[in-house]
Structure 1
Amino acid sequence: MKRLLDELVEKNRYLAKKGKVADYIPALKKANPEDLGICVIDMKEKIYTSGEYRTKFTIQSISKTISLMLAIMDNGAEEVFKRVGMEPTGDAFNSMYKLEIEGISKPLNPMINAGAIVVTSLIKGKNSKEKFARLLNLFRKITCNERLDLNEEVYISEKRTGHKNRAMAYLLKDMGVLKGDVEEVLDVYFKQCSIEVDCIDIANIGLFLANRGKVLKTGEVVTTDHIARIIKTFMVTCGMYNSSGEFAIRVGIPAKSGVAGGIMASVPHRMGIGIYGPALDEKGNSVAGYGLIEDLSRKLNLSIF
């Protein structure tokens, strides 16, 4: 496996030249666009790595999977999906125009920004500090990494420049979909996106979902198989933004990407995969990371279809 990962990392590294690092969040511009790393953890807890797998980056939209899980655990699926839909959009992750189309009364799914902000508003806690602490502790439990924490620089950068997310949140408030104080909800959302991870951390999240909501290392059942299944289904239908359909055909693995360059993937009953490559395509997915996971899926016959 190690030899295969080394081979595939070097094969796909050139693809980074076809993308560019996210620059609309100023702190993300510092990433080296040529970085590419991967971690694979199987159901026997064997860890295989290659490339810049130890490089730290912020989790960004990959956090939407676990915030959704917590919101469902706090409120039940029925209550959550009264406020956010279950359908792919075909639009960019930060698009908001469908929110004003007649007949659409809520964000179409929890993996786009509008839906994720609503989901974050449903996390229970007496204030934004307690809500984020609950979410961060959940991430620490799932990754078995107590040192997981906020990247303060990225958080401040996101909070200062997140004008479109702020506009979305106030529109959602006006629609009656988002409950609570808008700025408090956004504070939690910006913080969850700014949790700092590496490939091993997100591979562990993928492994947790592959293991039906049970942390393999500790044996702790954190959530139900049903909720883990909901998360993985959204990863298939909406997890790679508006290229999710193409990704399902080419790769065939539940996955979630983030604009810092991460891809978290979960192969049910088999493994978790974490990839980092900060050069993005026009849809916000890691260019080299996409190529890497596509090759890996073909080599190991990982497609769930």
Structure 2
Amino acid sequence: MVNAGAIATTDLIKGASATERLKRILDMFRRYTGREHDINVPVFLSEKATGNRNRAIAYLMLNFGMVTDRLEETLDLYFQQCSILVNGHDLAMMAATLANGGVNPVTQERAIDEHYVQDVISVMLTCGMFDYSGEWIYRVGLPAKSGVGGGITAVVPSKLGIGTFSPPLDAKGNSIRGIKVCEDLVRDFGLHLFNVAKPERVLAEWLEGGSSVDVW
């Protein structure tokens, strides 16, 4: 869940053309969030123009046979994927879909095979918050993924998904306020995966009454 892995994963996207591969990615996002998504073209062009570090990583992986030789197409696809527009609600829906065994809880459309959900959220738990991941497991204890745009998507398995958005980042590249919100939610409602005394009744009442953050 860092640049090298994301580029390698993007290289695995099937399709006879760059357009077909991009459509496959956008369709995956649609299944997770329940709506169509667009690419922010200025952000894509900026990513492409300044992405020399990512190119260096990609060519190093090519040298070791970790990616295919259609590298420039894959890099463009990666930069486009980094530029897909989402909001806090979308982040919550992505997490809720994983929490619901890979099925979007609103549209009831399957986004990912149930067999793979465990794999995805396990990697999210151990690596999803960059160099803060160890501290995150200790303090929050939820599978999550942050982005340098300021978003965090966090999964409470079989219960709910949390989406936060606040651009100011800490030194490790994670949203400062997003981490604080997740810490407060986990503390107040016993959501930490390893908490053996979860206040289920309080959580149920809170979900029925709504909340001030985007949670599904």
TM-score of the aligned structures, taking structure 1 as reference length? 0.62
Does the alignment pair 1:131 with 2:21?
Answer: yes
1: CA distance between counterparts of 2:110 and 2:129? 27
Residue aligning to 1:141 = 31
Which residue of the partner structure matches residue 255 of structure 1? 144
Selected match of 1:122 from 3, 12, 19? 12
The number of equivalent residue pairs is: 194
Measure the CA separation in 1 of the matches of 2:71 and 2:143.
31
Cα RMSD of the aligned pairs, angstroms, is 0.9
Aligned to 1:105: none
Give the partner amino acid of 2:185: L
Q: Does 1:269 align with 2:124?
A: no
Q: Work out whether 1:157 is the aligned partner of 2:46.
A: yes
2:9 aligned partner, one-letter code:
V
* Cα displacement (A) at 1:221: 2.5
Measure the CA separation in 2 of the matches of 1:300 and 1:153: 40
Q: 2:111 aligns with which of 222, 230, 234?
A: 222
Is the CA contact 1:149–1:196 (under 8 Å) kept in the aligned structure 2?
yes
How far is the alpha carbon of 1:169 from its aligned partner? 0.4
The residue type paired with residue 27 of structure 2 is N
Q: Which residue of 1 aligns with 2:100?
A: 211
Three-state SS of the structure 2 residue aligned to 1:137 is: helix
SS state at 2:97 partner: helix
Q: Return 5+ residue gaps in structure 1 as ranges.
A: 1-110
Write out aligned runs for 1:10-29 (5 A). none
- Listed as ranges, the matches of 1:191-202 within 5 Å are 191-202=80-91
Deviations 1:15-34 (A, max 9, x none): xxxxxxxxxxxxxxxxxxxx
* CA distance in 2: counterparts of 1:245 and 1:119, whole angstroms: 23
| Cα distance in 2 for residues equivalent to 1:182 and 1:167 | 11
Q: How does 1:101-116 map to 2 (within 5 A)?
A: 111-116=1-6
| Residues 42-57 of structure 1: pairs in structure 2 closer than 5 A | none
| Aligned residue identity for 1:125 | G
CA contact (8 A) 1:152 1:194 kept: yes
Quick check: 1:189 aligned with 2:78?
yes
Matches within 5 A, 1:71-110: none
**Equivalent position of 1:292 in the other structure:** 181
Aligned-pair identity (%)? 48
Write the distance in 1 (CA, Å) between the matches of 2:111 and 2:147. Answer: 23
Deviation digits for residues 212-263 of structure 1 (CA, Å, limit 9, x no counterpart): 1111112222322221111100100000011101000000111000000000
C-alpha distance in 2 between matches for 1:208 and 1:180: 34
Residues 121 and 180, structure 1, Cα contact 8 Å, conserved in 2: no
TM-score by length of 2: 0.87
The one-letter code matched in structure 2 to 1:121 is: D
Q: Which residue type is aligned with residue 10 of structure 2?
A: T
CA distance, structure 1, for counterparts of residue 191 and residue 167 of structure 2? 24
Corresponding position: 1:170 with 2:59: yes
Q: Deviation of residue 142 (structure 1)? A: 1.4
For 2:120, the aligned partner's letter is: I
Q: Which sections of structure 2, spanning at least 5 residues, go unmatched?
A: 195-216
- Contact 2:92 2:161 (8 Å CA) reproduced: yes
Give the Cα separation in 2 of the matches to 1:218 and 1:145.
10
